Structure 1
């Protein structure tokens, strides 16, 4: 009985981040017009050069496990406002929604309305946005292969499958109304992005999965690598995921994203997802071994604070025009 109880307690515990303090990038105030990033948990990241800002997802409400299980969920205006304030976010040009699960799309329409951004997403994302009847929200439905330019940023959109074994999958069809049950947020099409900027080429892979050859002709200096669920995958899967993202692009710098427990509010310290859903320790140890063997570096990012990207790119992989 005691052994069973201890096992259950372990499954609901979270790995400690303390052993990986050396992987945490320090906050560094960027030089004027220097490309920098701010991390807000999951795969919500703001990239900016002070003139133009590109945000991935914009998920800040982070409903609890209990809310996800028994309630209909909707954006939390107070949590959104606090997160934007903590990250000094005022204006965003483009908001890129990776896919339509709640931990990516829930807040996108409300955030876009506040920061005057254009949303770029799938047909499923479009249905969720339109189901909220918010004034002044602009959305452009995009497909893999699209390219958009904002200021000094050139954005390429890639098909990028969701992590295996995670439901609900498939597109959202018919009318969508908010609030909604968590399982009504079907993934729809899923994207990765490459941002080309004079300060560096950045690949963002929000979900831990791959298409063989997807990035074979794509160069990146930095990969923001989604690792959600990777701790439950076989070694062979992890190695191929690494090879098809980091190895294929030539990036020497890898920043891990989508590792935190997104059912905790952002005014509490970020914590790894509990063992019942993932194993961040196992993920980091396997990726550290791959990175060390190939002369690459992996990092974590603190929330809210700016991190200049140029200093962490020790060996640029991509030629500059």
Structure 2
């Protein structure tokens, strides 16, 4: 890009405002700390509600902090409503720690959609990964019965997809069948972000994206060294950006998201390896700020392969 094009992009006005209801950490990156910055970088206004406020993410030895209650969420939303400032083009949700809070999120989304049916609800149904829950199991039926019917875009990993549909997801065939079941419940766009073990190798990972009544895509990309907290939150926020920018073109949107994430993870992994002698979780925090150029302008990446797959 030329300097003039860079300046023009940075000065471009975007009439977009996101209500982001996710976790928050004081130090490091998870939840809203991962999602708000990429959205703002792309010119989206963001109103953030923190479902929890913790000192740091759960990868550390000690975690301290507070959890927002459903009554406190209700109070915040009532304040927005009373002042007639509950005007959103998008709602983005992530980690939620208890059933009643998640039920109240459903009430908020219903009210916003009744006010403006064009409001897009992007839901990351955070429950667990790698075969285990790290949230209460009681959240699952709330996601399945209340949240999913409201969602325009859903971004589960394979474990979460399996829990929501009642069948374990081990192969590509399992994945596509389960995606079809969620489409039947009304979710227009589904991106399975990770964890289809039978479709992965030691060198590569895969994710899948599908639009109801249209094509389904398989994305194959390099497996990078390390496991880092917050990558799913970055994924969801960038997906909001690129689906909006590309008018719902799921193939190109997910490719751009993956391109930015590959750069972010590689930069984080390289830094963590250089600091390996310190043996500290703090050295493994996402290099989010240091990757702002790649978050804003995803580089072309010939290592991300996109193919159509049958449903």
Which TM-score band applies after superposition, normalised by the shorter structure?
Answer: 0.3 to 0.5
TM-score after normalising by structure 2: 0.36
Query: Would you tell me which structure has more helix in proportion to its own residues?
Result: 2
TM-score after normalising by structure 1: 0.35
Q: Which has the higher contact order (CA 8 A, sep 6+)?
A: 1
